[in-house]
Structures are given as C-alpha cells and as structure tokens.
Amino acid sequence: MSKKQSPSVIKKLLKFLGRYKALLLVSLLLSVITVVLQLYVPVLFGRCIDYVVEEGNVDFNSLYNTIWWILLFVAIAGVATWIMGLVNNRLTYGIVKSIRASAIRKIQLLPLSYLDRKGVGDIVSRIITDTDQLSDGLLLGFTQLFSGIVTIVVTLVIMLRMNPWITLLVLVLTPLSFFVSKFIATGTYKMFKQQNEIRGEQTSLVEEMVGGARIVHAFGYEERANERFAENNERLRQASEKAVFYSSLTNPSTRAVNSVIYACVALMGAYMILNGKLTVGGLSLLLAYANQYMKPFTDISSVITELQNALSCAGRVFDLLEEENQSADSTEELKNVTGKTQAQGVYFSYVKERPLIEDFNLEIKEGTHVAIVGPTGCGKTTLINLLMRFYDVDAGEILIDQTPIQSVSRRSLRENYGMVLQETWLKNATVRENIAFGMPDATEEAIIKAAKEAHSWSFIKRLPHGLDTVIDDSSLSQGQKQLLCITRVMLILPPMLILDEATSSIDTRTELKIQNAFEKMMDGRTTFIVAHRLSTIRNADIILVMKDGHIIEQGSHSELLSKGGFYSELYRSQFAGVEI
C-alpha cells in the first residue's frame, strides 16, 4: 500500500462514512455482541473439559448446564452476525451510492475542457466499474474490520486475566505477522492503480470501437482494432497477474508466522502444565484465544487483494471528484433578451502555447442573421463555444444586451439560445420526451405544432406508438434525428439561435421546407449560422469570414462577392464551372 496515497484515500472515504453514523454504530454494537459471545464460548468449553478430565469424577449436572449455555450463546451470535451482514450491506452500498451521486454531480460542474481531454470510456469506468470494485472491497473491509478490532481487544483482556506470560509471548511475536504483511503489501497499491488505469483505457477503446462500428467496417479497420485491443488486453493481463500475485503472498506468509506463534503458545503452555501452573482446560482455552487473536490478521491478509484494489479504485474516483470545477457562476439572471451581441478584445486558446482567437471584436444588432464561414480550424465552432460559455474567454468580454455574459448564470444565458448542431444527440426515451427536452411541461398540442413546422410530424405519426415511441441510437436515421433536434428548438423558440450545419443530414427536398421553417423561426431573432455550404447563407444579413481566429472580411453575400476577396474564392471554389 502506498505510504502517501492510501492513507489519503482512506481519509476521504471516512468523510463519506460519516454520513452513515447510525448504521456504523449498529454494526459496531453487533460486532461487540458477536465477538464477546464467540469468545466466551471457548471459556465454557474449557470448563466442560475440566468437568470430565478426572477419571471417575465427572460433574454431569454442570456439564449439561454449560452445554445449554453454549448452544444459546452460539444461536445469539449467529443471529447477530446475520443482522450485522445486512447492516454492513446497507452501509457499504449507501457509501458507494453517495460516491456515485457525487461523481455525477461533479461531471455537471466540470469544465468542458476536462471532458474533451478525457476519454468517455475512462470517465464511465471510474463511475461504474471502479465504484463496483470499491463496494466489493468495502463490504469485505466492514465485515472484517469491526469484528477484528473487537476480537483483538477482548481476546487480549481475557488472556491477560488468564495468563500474563503467554499473553506477553503472543504480543511479542504478533508484530512479525504485521511486518510481513506490510512488507508484501507496500507496492501493491501502485500495481492495482496501474491495473485500473489500463482497464479504463480498455473501456474507452471498446466504447470507441462499438460507437464507431460503421466507420471501423467501412475503412477495414477491424484487424488494427483487434491488434490495439490485444495489446491493451495483454498489458491488463500482465498488470493484473502482477498485482494479484504479489498481494496474494500476504495470506500464506501471515499464516506461516501465525502457525509459529501458535506452536510457541502450545510449548510454553505444556511446560506450565508440567509445573502445575496451568490446567489442560486452561491450555485448551489459551490456544483457542491465541487462534482467535491471530484470526483477524489472517482474515485481513486473505482479502488484501480486494482491499488494495478497492483503495486504488477509490483513488481514481476521488481524483475525478477533486478536479477543478468550471469557473464560479453568477446568480444574476439574463432576462428580456433582445439579442444584441458584442465581443470586445476577446482572446482565447485551448492550449496556452497555441493562440487561436486574438483581439476578436464583433458587434451584432438584435434580430440580425449572422453567418460564420471559413476554412476548417479557423475558429467558427470556438466562437459558438464562447457565446454559449462552454468555454470562458482568456481576456476581453462578450456582452448580450450590454451585459457581460460572465456576470450572469450559465443557465439563464443558455436558456436564451436554441442550438441545432450537425452532431445530433437524443436520449434513450420517448419521442415526446426528446422533443420536450428543454420544456418538460409542454402540451401535446404545442409538441405536434412544433413537429409539423419542423416537418418531422410525417415520420413521427408513422412510428409504432407515435410520440410515445421509445427510441435509441439505432431507431432512426441520421436525418430523422436531426429533424427531432430541430423540432426541439422549434418548441422552445428562444430569442437567439445557433445553427451549426443544422440540415447537413437532411435530403434536399426536406431541406428546402426546413429552410422556410427556419426563415419563419429566425424572424426577429438574432441567429448565428455556421455553414460550410455557402449556398445556404446567401440571405444572411451579415457574413463573417474567419481565418486563424480573426474576422478577415464581413458584409452581405453580394458585397463580399464584389470585393473579390477570400469569401469570393471560397464561394467560387464550391461552384466551379457554375455561372454565379
């Protein structure tokens, strides 16, 4: 176990454990009852031996009476152990539930830069797989921990009262078992952490291959995908074998040391019997207690693999929980938006060493339809990310209706935007829930009206259950998905719109109808249109031509063509051989 990391992880786990103090106290009380009764039973067995050890002098009345007490105590201890198991289950899975809930809440607070940087599979692995591993380790830990502590303390007290010299022998020799266990376990934390990191990579790879299965097949990538997985799988096998092998040495090593201690107690006890300082029943009892005293150390060493794995998994989850949140949000609300937008001296880069947007200035009047064009990587999508505050500017400010967007809450800012992206996203739910994603209380009439305006109603009503049809990623075509995303915005009708290749997956005939619907929807609303097909933005009020994070040209379609500049070159390259 890592000297630095493991205590830190345990300390963090204790914070979650503190939320379940009542269950913790019940578990501890049941542990005390169970252990005390289990340890008192050997005392009664010792008496039974002394009752029959002398020939012709057997005390049957006392023997029968003691046996009945033994049966009663064993039954009570059994019931207490059963209840303790239920309590420990509730305690363990309650803690894991809290950790998972914290992780999900944390994801909502993390900046998009973190989510863009980390693989989806790795994040999913931390929240699902790592917490599952943690629950297994915690359950074993709680099962062994309290009972073990109580067993050690009570056993020592009883043995000291019975025979201080043998107790002293056990106390002197026991640290050997502890040191052997600690020596072997020292490096296993890092081994299990490496194992779980590789498992996270594997989850990301599987998610990537399954999610992009069509692309994998289309480009004949199957063999290379298999090779990548085989290489990752081999590294996971090696890391797992190494971690489990080294951690599994703990149990046989501690058992060997404990056997030596047990033998020493037996030899010393036999010597005392010969000198008349100990009875046979007393030695039997001391041997039983010596075994009980050493049992917790053996039990813990037997589950050291799961405990080390659990701690390394917990460490990965806590790493996620301790990531820096996105910048502080304001409580101010952005209300009564008209859509006037300004950017003043904006600087932004995803990586500090590679500037992207520098000294960016922009002023858009309310109700203006703005098209943003330019080559790949020029900053079109980045500008949208900044307008929506998916990323914050490094310097300068963006204003909506003269209000800096950093001074209002992200939620109120985004509520004033309707966004339709080229990449569609629908949740695994009914069509109705997907359309009403931003307006859960929308009436059916409003949903149907929006669907008709977005020209999605024709295929929705043909679905098996209409609006109540449950859909998933494979239920609809890409064009149908995009129509539903457009319908979603049609329903909300916010004061500002962002359309990023919003009709890229729709057939030409339907696109013409959608364009008419868009014209109606955009009327009086400030709209930002990111377009690659320049034919779709001829009617924009103003076209911003971006290159390397700067606006190099701006004006209407006809004005930019007449200038014969960069926009004119882009436009003519798309319509080479066509009379303009």
Domains and CATH numbers, the chain: 7-321 (1.20.1560.10), 327-416+528-580 (3.40.50.300)
Six-digit token pair at 236? 């996971």
Residue 409 above 70 pLDDT? yes
Helix axis angle for 5-17 and 60-109, nearest 10°, is 100
Range with the lowest mean pLDDT among 219-233, 301-315, 322-336? 301-315
Task: Count Cβ neighbours within 10 Å for each residue of 331-370 and write b for 16 or more, e otherwise.
Answer: eeebeebebbbbbeebebeeeeeeebbbebebebebbbbb
pLDDT at residue 58, rounded to an integer: 65
Range with the lowest mean pLDDT among 20-34, 141-155, 330-344, 392-406? 141-155
Report the SS3 class of residue 320.
helix
Q: Which amino acid is at 100?
A: R
Task: Count Cβ neighbours within 10 Å for each residue of 268-298 and write b for 16 or more, e otherwise.
Answer: bbeebeeeeebbebbbbbbbbbbbbbbbbbb
Dist. CA 49–CA 113, nearest whole Å: 72
Helix (H) or strand (E) holding 283: helix 280-302
Phi, psi at residue 500, to the nearest 5°? -110, 95
Residue 298 above 80 pLDDT? no
Residue 524 above 80 pLDDT? yes
Q: What is the mean pLDDT of residues 420-439?
A: 84
Residues 6+ apart with CB under 8 A from 11: none
Q: What is the mean pLDDT of residues 216-235?
A: 81
Residue 382 above 60 pLDDT? yes
pLDDT tens column, 442-483? 899 999 998 988 888 988 999 988 999 988 767 788 778 888
Q: Is the dihedral of CA 295, 296, 297, 303 positive or negative?
A: positive
Q: How confident is the model at residue 9 (pLDDT cuts 50, 70, 90)?
A: confident
Q: Pairing relation of β-strands 496-500 and 526-530?
A: parallel
pLDDT at residue 503, rounded to an integer: 67
Q: How confident is the model at residue 300 (pLDDT cuts 50, 70, 90)?
A: low
Q: Choose between 119 and 543: higher pLDDT.
A: 543
Q: What is the mean pLDDT of residues 520-549?
A: 81
Share of the chain above pLDDT 70, in %: 88
pLDDT at residue 336, rounded to an integer: 85
Q: How confident is the model at residue 399 (pLDDT cuts 50, 70, 90)?
A: very high
Report the SS3 class of residue 362.
strand
Report the SS3 class of residue 478.
helix
- C-alpha distance from residue 299 to each of 147, 171, 305, 441 (Å): 10, 18, 12, 56
pLDDT at residue 206, rounded to an integer: 81
Residue from 378, 372, 385 nearest 534 by CA: 372
pLDDT at residue 194, rounded to an integer: 81
Q: How confident is the model at residue 79 (pLDDT cuts 50, 70, 90)?
A: very high
Residue 182 above 80 pLDDT? no
Q: Pairing relation of β-strands 542-547 and 429-430?
A: unpaired
pLDDT tens column, 53-76? 665 566 677 778 888 888 898 899
Q: What is the mean pLDDT of residues 509-527?
A: 76
Report the SS3 class of residue 542.
strand
Range with the lowest mean pLDDT among 158-167, 344-353, 372-381, 501-510? 501-510
Q: How confident is the model at residue 1 (pLDDT cuts 50, 70, 90)?
A: very low
Q: Which amino acid is at 369?
A: H
Dist. CA 575–CA 580, nearest whole Å: 8
pLDDT at residue 445, rounded to an integer: 92
Q: Which amino acid is at 222?
A: E
Residue 4 above 50 pLDDT? no
